[in-house]
């Protein structure tokens, strides 16, 4: 068999584009994207008129700060069709967020939008060492969630043999990893950690599977988790980032350097702003991440406030890509808690609950007892988690406590409560009671 040097980039002309040329491309695309929403989306036109800006004011990427922001609340107001920029007959797909923190977001895609998104995912797979010779197991959920569809499409584009296991059925996942010799695994980092643990319990080690790389995203994770996963599975673990609003996974991805995620800047322009004032902050400063899509058709996003807090850095990367890098998001700007000196995001807790088969309905209580912070989480019992056998329930509860500890880095006491006993609200759910403030 002839040896072919593995491709380092999926689209080298884009991924290694010189900075100046990239800026020209972004400028040209932004002008077109703004014109596209102005002409086709009354909601955007209203926002722009309120800010006193028209497409004639936008000559290039430097003018982007003249444009109004788009928030999650706008997406809720405009649900479902209010931000649609193409006639429905040109759209071929929707995806949707889980809607656990309010009304769900429904995003629309034309065939071109899907192609662009799959290209982004293909770039991530190639950056993780993937090629047509690889077997790629996609264990993200398939369906409304973007994870499965995005990586599946990217895997096809790269030419990998794709195993669409979707999420769940851990036994079967491990069977395919072993029997079909998957070399790349795509799933959430907490699921990867769980797969690793299950393999360990079965007495399987890194040498029992040919897996070499994992592309893990859709939730916050830590460097400790990365090391654990890499060691138990004997792989390199790469981060991937994305938002349904922008397309899905693949907005940014990690390369061999594993030091931040390259943003696909030819499609998504990133800014960091002060979440309180909206002022654009210089590169290297921590703030809220804002994205503008540059060439989306059906569902363009102009200065969309992600609420993710992170840092952007443009530096020479050993991989040769010129795209700037974003640090792992430190969580959402509006709901971080500090417990025992550790940053705790409700979204992390939610992720663990969903992965372990519980509902995303929970109540966090933080208190201070004897000068020490305590973290208690009420979790609703589900039919899937229930058993007539108390020790089975207790075992599952313990697994949940361990998974939470792995994600948060601190111990949280779990209380199983009756289904639907935690108040649900239409808007942003009340998930945190911080009793420390009352002292």
Partner 1 sequence: MTVNQISVFVENKSGALAQITSELSNAGVNMRALSIAETQDFGVLRFIADNDRKAAFVLSDAGYVLSVTPVLAVVIKDEPGSFARTLRILADAGIDVEYTYAFLTPRPGTACMIFRVPDNDAAEKVLTDAGVKLASKEEMA
Contact positions vs partner 1 (CB under 8 A)? 381-383, 386-390, 393-394, 415-421
Nearer to partner 1, 204 or 416 (CB): 416
Residue 224's Cβ-count burial label (10 Å; 0-12, 13-18, 19+) is exposed
Tell me the closest approach of the beta carbon of residue 373 to partner 1, in angstroms: 20
Nearer to partner 1, 257 or 401 (CB): 401
Report d(CA 211, CA 192) in Å as an integer.
12
Tell me the closest approach of the beta carbon of residue 1 to partner 1, in angstroms: 51
Tell me the closest approach of the beta carbon of residue 40 to partner 1, in angstroms: 45
Nearer to partner 1, 25 or 381 (CB): 381
Tell me the closest approach of the beta carbon of residue 393 to partner 1, in angstroms: 7
Nearer to partner 1, 313 or 398 (CB): 398
Nearer to partner 1, 94 or 417 (CB): 417
Tell me the closest approach of the beta carbon of residue 37 to partner 1, in angstroms: 45
Tell me the closest approach of the beta carbon of residue 194 to partner 1, in angstroms: 23
Nearer to partner 1, 15 or 378 (CB): 378
Contact residues for 226 (Cβ-Cβ < 8 A; gap 6+)? 189, 237, 239, 258
Tell me the closest approach of the beta carbon of residue 413 to partner 1, in angstroms: 9
Nearer to partner 1, 202 or 420 (CB): 420
Report d(CA 411, CA 398) in Å as an integer.
11
Output the CA angle 289-290-294, nearest 5 degrees: 135
């Amino acid at each position: 068999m002839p040896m072919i040097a593995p491709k380092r980039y999926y689209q080298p002309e884009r991924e290694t584009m010189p900075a100046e040329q990239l800026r020209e491309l972004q400028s040209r695309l932004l002008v077109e994207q703004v014109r596209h929403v102005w002409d086709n989306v009354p909601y955007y036109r209203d926002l722009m008129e309120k800010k006193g800006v028209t497409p004639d004011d936008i000559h290039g990427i430097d003018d982007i700060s003249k444009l109004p922001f788009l928030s999650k609340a706008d997406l809720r107001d405009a649900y479902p069709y209010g931000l649609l920029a193409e006639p429905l007959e040109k759209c071929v797909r929707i995806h949707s967020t889980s809607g656990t923190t309010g009304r769900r977001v429904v995003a629309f895609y034309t065939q071109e939008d899907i192609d662009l998104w799959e290209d982004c995912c293909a770039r991530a797979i190639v950056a993780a060492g993937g090629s047509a010779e690889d077997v790629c197991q996609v264990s993200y959920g398939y369906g409304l969630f973007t994870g499965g569809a995005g990586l599946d499409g990217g895997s096809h584009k790269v030419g990998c043999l794709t195993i669409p296991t979707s999420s769940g059925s851990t036994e079967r996942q491990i069977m395919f990893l072993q029997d079909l010799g998957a070399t790349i695994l795509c799933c959430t980092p907490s699921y990867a950690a769980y797969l690793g643990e299950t393999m360990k319990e079965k007495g399987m080690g890194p040498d029992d599977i040919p897996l070499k790389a994992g592309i893990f995203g859709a939730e916050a994770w830590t460097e400790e988790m990365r090391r654990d996963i890499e060691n138990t599975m004997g792989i390199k673990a790469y981060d991937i980032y994305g938002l349904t609003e922008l397309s899905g996974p693949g907005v940014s991805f990690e390369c061999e350097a594993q030091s931040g995620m390259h943003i696909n800047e030819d499609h998504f322009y990133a800014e960091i702003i002060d979440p309180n004032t909206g002022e654009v902050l210089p590169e290297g400063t921590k703030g809220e991440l804002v994205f503008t899509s540059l060439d989306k058709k059906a569902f363009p996003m102009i200065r969309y406030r992600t609420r993710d807090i992170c840092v952007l850095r443009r530096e020479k990367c050993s991989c040769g890509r010129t795209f700037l890098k974003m640090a792992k998001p430190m969580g959402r700007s509006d709901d971080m808690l500090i417990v025992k000196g550790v940053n705790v995001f409700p979204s992390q807790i939610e992720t663990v609950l969903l992965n372990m088969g519980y509902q995303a309905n929970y109540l966090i209580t933080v208190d201070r007892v004897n000068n020490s912070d305590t973290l208690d989480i009420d979790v609703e019992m589900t039919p899937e988690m229930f058993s007539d056998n108390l020790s089975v329930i207790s075992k599952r509860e313990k697994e949940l406590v361990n998974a939470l500890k792995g994600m948060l880095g601190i111990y949280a006491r779990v209380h199983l409560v009756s289904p639907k006993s935690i108040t649900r609200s239409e808007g942003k759910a009340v998930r945190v009671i911080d009793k420390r403030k009352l002292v």
